[in-house]
C-alpha cells in the first residue's frame, strides 16, 4: 500500500500551498485535493489501492505540538537551504528524517484507530 502525506507549506492567510508526498514522488497544489490529484497522476498503476485519510494537522496523542513545531522549523530551514542551493547540517537532516518517520508512524496509528472504529 502506498503511503501519502499531505502537508501545508504556507501559513500565510491568503497563500496556502500543500505538498503531497509518496516516496520520491511529490506534487504541490493550492488545496490538499489538488496536491493529491497531481500526485496520483505520478503514481504507477500498481499503486492504485491507496487509502487516503485526511487528518487536520493538529497535535494529538500520536504526534505532539512540540514535534509539529520542530518539524515545521526544520522544514522551513530545509526549504531556505534548498532555495539557496545548500543543505541542512547532517544532524538537522537526521532529525528531520526522524520526525517525518514519526509523523508517518503517527498517521499509521491514526488509521488503525479509524479502522477499528469502522469495524465496530
Domain ranges of the chain: 1-52, 56-120
**pTM of the shown model:** 0.59
**Taking 70 as the threshold, does the pLDDT of residue 88 lie above it?**
yes
pLDDT of residue 49: 61
The string of DSSP codes covering 69-106 is HHHHHHHHHHHHHHHTT----HHHHHHHHHHHHHHHHH
Cell reading at 1: 500500500
**Taking 90 as the threshold, does the pLDDT of residue 90 lie above it?**
yes
Amino acid at each position: 500500500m502506498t503511503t501519502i502525506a499531505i502537508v501545508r507549506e504556507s501559513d500565510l492567510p491568503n497563500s496556502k500551498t500543500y505538498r503531497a508526498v509518496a516516496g520520491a514522488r511529490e506534487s504541490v497544489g493550492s488545496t490538499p485535493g489538488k496536491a493529491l490529484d497531481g500526485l496520483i497522476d505520478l503514481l504507477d498503476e500498481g499503486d492504485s489501492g491507496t487509502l487516503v485519510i485526511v487528518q487536520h494537522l493538529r497535535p494529538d496523542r500520536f504526534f505532539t505540538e512540540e514535534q509539529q513545531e520542530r518539524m515545521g522549523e526544520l522544514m522551513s530551514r530545509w526549504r531556505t537551504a534548498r532555495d539557496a542551493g545548500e543543505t541542512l547540517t547532517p544532524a538537522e537532516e537526521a532529525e528531520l528524517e526522524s520526525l517525518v518517520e514519526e509523523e508517518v508512524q503517527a498517521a499509521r496509528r491514526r488509521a488503525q484507530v479509524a479502522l477499528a472504529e469502522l469495524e465496530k
